[in-house]
Amino acid sequence: MLWLSEILLQEHDLVSFDQLIESVKVRARNGAMFFRIDVKPPFQDTPNDWEERLEAAFSSAN
């Protein structure tokens, strides 16, 4: 199970929403089976549809 908060805690060098999207895709390609969104990303460029975009990035990575 992959949690959004886990990514944010482990990858302190992320500075944008686009970088977060790429990280989600990499983790999905590396075998994460399920993705849970438990916090809102703290980035200034986080769009209004951030949940849908993160879920799409996870689903389309494979």
Pair 58, 28: CB distance under 8 Å: yes
Query: What pTM does this model have?
Result: 0.93
Q: How confident is the model over 2-23, as pLDDT tens digits? A: 999 999 999 999 999 999 999 9
Average pLDDT, the chain: 96
User: What is the 3-class SS of 24-49, one letter each residue?
Assistant: HHHHHHCCCCCEECCCCCCCCCCCCC
pLDDT at 62 exceeding the cut of 90: no
Full residue range of the structural domain in which residue 7 is found: 2-60
**H or E, element range at 2:** strand 2-3
Q: What is the pLDDT of residue 49?
A: 98
Range name among 16-20, 24-28, 50-54, 58-62 with the lowest pLDDT average: 58-62
Number of domains into which the chain is organized: 1
